[in-house]
Amino acid sequence: MKRFFDMFVSIFAVILLSPLFLIVSLAILITDGKPVLFRQERVGKDNKIFTVYKFRTMRNGVGDIATADLSDANEKITKTGKFLRLTSIDELPQLFNILNGTMSLVGPRPLIPAEKEIRELREKYGVYSVRPGITGYAQINGRDNIDDATKALLDKEYIEKQSFIFDMKIIFKTFMKVLKRADIKDK
pLDDT tens profile 19-34:
999 999 999 999 988 9
pLDDT in tens, 77-117: 898 999 999 888 999 999 999 999 999 999 999 999 998 99
Contacts of 71 (CB under 8 A, 6+ apart): none
* Segments making up each domain of the chain, as ranges: 2-180
Q: Which residue in 135, 124, 125 sits closest to 171, CA to CA?
A: 135
How far are the Cα atoms of 5, 110, 123, 148, 186 from residue 160, in angstroms, in the given order?
20, 18, 14, 19, 32
- Own/partner pairs, 20-23, CB within 8 angstroms, 24+ separation: 20/89, 20/92, 21/92, 21/93
SS3 12: helix
